[in-house]
Structure 1
């Protein structure tokens, strides 16, 4: 059972890495909304790296954010959290320790960073959407955020599956505890003929 859990945990971790990487490259972290608009001539969308606009003919232009320091603090922090995501034959004991280490490192390394990034970015989009003093263009949550949340959740689940086998009791013989008094042999009387 533990090998199956470790294998599923590994594959969930790999899939989450792919989904989170795709979310990082996805252009649609926030998309301009159409609510309240009479005529829509273009659509705007952004991610952590650039801002794009697409006109009614489907021609898109993108502008890369030029200065890191000119960006709002939450985008700088989201970039830092997403860049922290890293790609992560011995005896059975070493393999078990590596699986536990992977199970402990996977959630903070990938899932927590991805979930915090997507949630923070989404909170800012929602806050700006309902802010009456925000500019003319209002933005909604884009597919990139949902991909980021999905990747983070899969990494969390995969990490839990890698960590779970270490918590299972092993069926190895136990050594006597040094705090337990040794048992005296039981003497059974025997009959002697004589």
Structure 2
């Protein structure tokens, strides 16, 4: 019962992490900049992985998708790839964790097979969380480097809300994956211990039966 509850908690954490990572991936607020000379004429510029947006204090918002993939900076292309990998890993991990739960039954799947599936799902979640963590941290490092560089002549941005959402989603995915992997390893150890105990009792029973056998001598009658 405790193991099932542990698996459910791990599944909830990883599911929430996947939702946060999805929200961060499609968000346009990975970085932002504001030019606020006064409240009336203030404007905001924000960028994400896929497009940039300009908003004014009058409520108008205009967004433009990045037209060319090859013209983008290297770190932006890598961050895109890592976030997509984390989302795909999260979806695969969700499927495997559902199949590996003790409270689910699919055909005649053995207990050892479900344990292996659960451990595999946990490892996939950890790898996906690490991928998104690298992407978000690298992007944040680029923003802060440009912001504090006195020789940088472009627009200086600040950290957007999507970065913090991405960090939270990465931590939840890694934490849920660790919980799921530890739960599977614990069940595997318990299963091996139970099999060893059963084997020991079987061997003792066989020895007892052999000892209890009586040999009846054959007597010759003349």
Q: Where on the TM-score scale, by shorter chain, does this alignment land: which range?
A: 0.7 to 0.9
Structure with more contact order per residue of length (Cα contacts < 8 Å, sep ≥ 6): 1
Within 5 Å, give how 1:1-194 maps onto structure 2: 1-33=2-34, 38-39=37-38, 41-84=42-85, 85-86=87-88, 87-88=91-92, 89=106, 90-108=109-127, 110-135=128-153, 137-168=155-186, 169-170=189-190, 171-174=193-196, 175=199
Secondary structure in 2 aligned to 1:156? helix
State how many pairs are aligned. Answer: 174
Secondary structure in 2 aligned to 1:45? strand
Partners of 2:149 and 2:70 in 1: CA distance = 24
Partners of 1:124 and 1:107 in 2: CA distance = 24
The CA deviation at 1:38 is 3.9
Q: CA RMSD in A?
A: 1.8
Q: Which runs of 5+ in 2 are unaligned?
A: 93-105, 201-222
Normalising by structure 1, report the TM-score.
0.83
Contact 1:5 1:164 in 2 (8 A): no
Deviations 1:83-142 (A, max 9, x none): 11211112222111110011111110x201111110000000000101112235321111
Q: Which runs of 5+ in 1 are unaligned?
A: 177-194
Contact 1:33 1:140 in 2 (8 A): no
Partners of 2:8 and 2:112 in 1: CA distance = 16
The CA deviation at 1:166 is 2.9
Normalising by structure 2, report the TM-score.
0.73
Instruction: Please identify, of 22-31 and 163-172, the stretch whose mean Cα deviation from structure 2 is larger.
Output: 163-172
Structure 1 counterpart of 2:206: none
